[in-house]
Structures are given as structure tokens and as C-alpha cells.
A and B are shown apart, each in its own frame.
Chain A
Amino acid sequence: MRRILPLLGLLLLAGLAGSGCVMSRVQPWERDLLAEPEMLPVPDPLEAGIDDHIYFSKETAHGGATVGGGGCGCN
């Protein structure tokens, strides 16, 4: 499975690129969709913090999306 996941990631990239989401110069008046709250990289930081704490306490791998946050003796 560990070997399959990188391939899935590359497929995801290819799928996104091929789905019409090609890189284009978006003008300021075309950013209505980008301005929606769900389009933020982290739409709900409070929820993301709770989830990060759960995974940090149960897995060795952690981090990657943001820096900071409170320390914990749980792992």
C-alpha cells in the first residue's frame, strides 16, 4: 500500500490538471469562488487543531500543513 499511495497522488495531480482546472491568470473580478470559506486551505482551524491532536497522539507521522500549536505529552 505504501508504494501505491505515491502513485495515487500522481494520478490525483494528473486528474486535477486534466479536469479543466488548468493554470490560468485569474483576474480580481473572477475570484468569487476562491473567496468562499470552503476554499481556504484550512476552512476551520479549530476543527483542524482537534484532528491534528488526535492523529499526533496516535501516529508517529505528523505535521506538514502548518507550524505552531501546543505541545503535548501524549506522544
Chain B
Amino acid sequence: MQLRPLPRPRGARAGHVAGLLALAVGNLLGREAAALELHGVSIDQATLFYQEQGRIGVVEPVVTVRLPLPGEQALSLHYGFDAMSGASPNGATPTVTSHTYTSPSGNSYTVSRGELPVHAFRDIRNAGSVDYERPLSRRLKLNTGLNASFETDYRSLGASLSLALELNQKLTTLSLGLSTSADRLRPQGGVPVPLSDYMLRVPGADGANKRIEDVLLGLTQVMGRGWLTQLNLGLGRDQGDMTDPYKGVSLVDAQGEPTRWVFESRPDARTRATLFWGNAVHLGRDVIHADWRVYHDSWGVRANTVSLQYWLKPELGLPGLRARPELRFSSQSRADFYAHSVMRSAYEAAPPAHLSADSRLAAMQSWAFSLRVDLPETDWGQLWLKPMYLRQHFSLSPGAVGVQQQVDLVPDLKVWMVTLGFRTTL
């Protein structure tokens, strides 16, 4: 294997990294790497610090290395690690008396009156992907990828392929994207029998499978000297076990007091459709991004999401310095089978096929605000920082009865996040 001489590195450490990358790519690509030019290898790193009020905390470092290859090819390697800990809602309803629950691992815990029942939770996730892009002709580009993700109780293996066809002197791009993943779930204590008693824990299978397939058709159009618009139609299908093995639903009496707790149950198929319209508009110095997404699925969830980004680029003679406030709002209707709790008499008279108290399936309004600041570029690279706040407000469905009116049945979710990023080009 012959490699061209490396471009002048920005220090001994950068040169060492470049050497390792050259070796790795050479091994992957064999003879093609003979013409490898390491100039232009970019490394993007970011770490997310995520904390929900009273619930889950996550630290998530991620890194992407992009290696340009001869003939306008490129290889991207991505790795991410999540360390998650804290408390996750178990699906039971808050009430005016304290209750004792049992976790999937068999530990008992007591929840005080008025508190949202949560169970302690800790997990790690390792995720990686490899993407390869190359032109197939002067107008047609191919991008393929493989990805894998591993958690203690969950594994996902996936692949994606996309084609982009440039037309009309590169003012129009048509794109087709396909992706699929095969997921395997192995929950603590086995897969629960849907709608069985949570406390009795009827033994189920060791694991379950899920398959996800997506198709995306896209049109990107240059509308003017400073306006790029993008329209995507996405269709997706999920098949397999989508029931959350750790969440239950409370059955309550006529006074609203929980008397029984059963595992949730979700349909084993879902089709999804999205329509996404994105815009980037140049204002002469600054840039605005305005996106709108409509979502609909066969579980009855409809959602509208809008986001606005304003890239502010002050002319202070500091290359790379920029700031970007972003506001995102999403409104979602509830899934057909969502209920924060169910009247026990009605449930036992006619048990539903599917039932979930997971608030992510509830009608909600979600607000997010962030401010990203990119510091000026240096010889070593560029740092950026993004604090972000997310708040979700849930609609009550069904309405509260009896003692339920004395507690907050589905409290708002408040999340603080900070992301610290660094990028460099060798």
C-alpha cells in the first residue's frame, strides 16, 4: 500500500491521527487507497448533556470522521455513546395515596401521593454507522450506509441507500432514499404478555423482533439567488413488537383510585406518512431556515411541526463567528389507544385490544428553544456551544374523575440540554 505524503499536519497529534486514518481506510478500500489524499479529512465531535426535571439524564458524546476519496467519493464513520440514568415513568397514574410497585428486575419501590410513578433506570448505548458516497455519473450520486446500535436490552441493525439526480443545470435535485432496520428487544424479565397483570409478571418470550422500513422521495429546487426549497414525501412501515415492556396502565375505580395495573399493549404494525417542506433563505448576510412537517400514522397520531432558525453572521472580522437562535413547535394528537388510565369496570367488561399510557402517545404540544454559538475558527478547529430548553405539555385524555382531580395526572416535561461541539479539518 502506497500513500501520498501527508499534507503538513497542525501538530504531532493531528499527524498521528491522520496516519491512523490513512491506515484504516487503506485496509478498508485496498488498492483504491493508493491514491488517497488525506487533505480535507474532517472530524466533527459533539457531546450532549441532557437532563429532564426529576427524570432521566443523558450524556451523549458523538463523533463523525469524513474522509474524502479520489473521484469525488467519500467515506464517513460515525460513533455515538449514550450513558442514561435516572427515572422513567412506569405508566401508572399518580394518585392521592402512596403506592408500591415492582420493577422488571423484581425490586419494589414506593411512590408518594401526588407523585408521577417512575422507576429507576440505567443503560448505555453504543451506536455506529459507516456511509459511503460516490458519483455514478455526472448527474447521479449514490450514498449507502450501514448502522448498528446496541443497548443492554435492545439491538438495531440497519442499512440505507439514497440516490440524488441533478437536473436543470443543478438547479433541481430529485432524490430517492430507502432505509431498513431489523431490531431485537430482550427486556429484563422477558417480554411481558400484553395487558397481563404487571405485579404478577406472567412469563413471556425472551425476546421480540421489530422491522422498520422507510422510503423518502425528495425534490430540492433553487428558487432564486438566495432561496433553496426542499419538499420530501416519506412513507414508513413498522412491523413487530412495539409494546414498551416496562410500561403499564392503571385501572381505576369509580373514585379514580388505581386498583389494578396491567402491561400496556400496542398494535404490531404501523404505517407512517410525512410531508416535509424546508426552506433556506439568504438575506444578504444572515440566513433563515424555515421548516414545516406534517405527520400522520395508522395509530391515529397526526402532528404538525414547524421550526425557524436564524443564522446570524456578524461582520466583526472573526472568521467563522456566528450565532443561531432556533424555535421549534410541534403539536401532536393522541394515538387511538392512549389513555392515562382506564375505568376498571369498563375494562373488565370489554377489554381493549390495545392500550397505552405512555405520554409520548398522548396529545401534546412541544416547545423547544435553543441558541447555538460558533466561536471564531482557529488553526486547531472551531468550537460551538448550544444550550437548549424543551417543554412538553400534555392534554388530559380521558378527563379526570374523583380523586384524580386533586393530582397532576400527566405533568409537563421540562428538559435542559447543552451541547458542546468541536470540528477540525486535517
Contacts and interface: CB of A to CB of B under 8 A. Distances in A.
Contact of A16 (B227, B299, B386): B227
Interface in A25-69: 25-26, 28, 30-31, 33-34, 36, 38-41, 43-47, 49-50, 53-55, 58-69
A54 B227 contact: no
Contact of A75 (B275, B331, B360, B390): B360
Contacts of A24: 223-225
A58 to B, nearest CB: 6
- How big is chain A's contact interface, by range? 35 or more
Given A1-B365, A34-B225, A67-B160, A47 B46 contact: yes
A21 B417 CA distance: 35
B361 interface: yes
Interface in B261-285: 272, 274-282
Main secondary structure of the interface of A (DSSP, over half): loop
A9 B277 contact: yes
B96 interface: no
B419 A12 contact: no
A70 interface: yes
A21 B223 contact: yes
Contacts of A28: 169
Nearest to B334: A60
A63 B236 contact: yes
- How big is chain B's contact interface, by range? 35 or more
B274 A21 contact: no
A72 B84 CA distance: 13
B139 to A, nearest CB: 15
A69 B419 contact: no
A14 interface: no
A47 B277 CA distance: 19
A41 B50 CA distance: 26
Interface stretch (B108-116, B171-179, B197-205, B339-347): B171-179
B169 A34 contact: no
B224 A71 contact: no
24 contacts: A2-B331, A8-B292, A19-B281, A22-B224, A23-B221, A34-B282, A36-B287, A38-B322, A41-B220, A45-B64, A47-B372, A54-B415, A54-B417, A59-B360, A60-B332, A61-B303, A61-B332, A63-B274, A64-B293, A65-B232, A66-B216, A67-B215, A71-B156, A72-B154
Interface string B214-231: 111000111111111110
B421 A47 contact: yes
Given A46-B46, A70-B129, A73-B151, A64 B275 contact: yes
Contacts of A19: 281
B338 to A, nearest CB: 9
A5 to B, nearest CB: 4
Given A23-B224, A63-B274, A64-B232, A50 B60 contact: yes
A64 B171 contact: no
A38 B299 CA distance: 36
A34 B301 contact: no
Interface in B152-205: 153-154, 156-158, 160, 162, 169, 171, 177-179, 181, 183, 185
Nearest to B333: A2
B214 A39 contact: no
A54 B389 CA distance: 12
Nearest to A57: B360
B424 interface: no
Contact of A67 (B78, B214, B279, B299): B214
Interface string B130-163: 0100000000000001011101011011101010
Interface string A2-19: 100110110011001001
A39 B224 contact: no
A9 B156 contact: no
Given A2-B331, A38-B287, A64-B276, A58 B149 contact: no
Nearest to A45: B64
Contacts of B216: 63, 66-67
A59 B301 CA distance: 10
Contacts of A2: 302, 304, 331, 333
A71 to B, nearest CB: 3
Interface-central residue, A41, A46, A73, by most chain B CB under 10 Å: A73
Contact of B282 (A39, A54, A63): A39
Interface stretch (B27-35, B67-75, B305-313): B305-313
